[in-house]
Amino acid sequence: MQQSKSAANQYEENGIVVDVDPLIIKQNLVSIEQWTSNEL
């Protein structure tokens, strides 16, 4: 289970799990921007 999930959308580099899906990364950045703008 853990290995298949890792192979599906993540890889581990230097002990750091990095998400390699650009859509997910973009969505996360948008969420952070919205959250910070709401804080302001």
pLDDT in tens, 7-39: 545 656 666 666 667 788 788 888 888 888 887
Three-class SS of the chain = CHHHHHHHHEEEECCEEEECCHHHHHHHHHHHHHHHHHHC
Give the torsion sign (CA, 16, 17, 22, 27): negative
Q: If you search the block for the tokens 């996360």, which residue do you land on?
A: 28
pLDDT of residue 1: 47
Range of the domain at 13: 2-39
Domain count, the chain: 1
Q: If you search the block for the tokens 């998400």, which residue do you land on?
A: 19
Give the global pTM: 0.36
What's the CA gap between 40 and 31, in Å, rounded?
Answer: 14
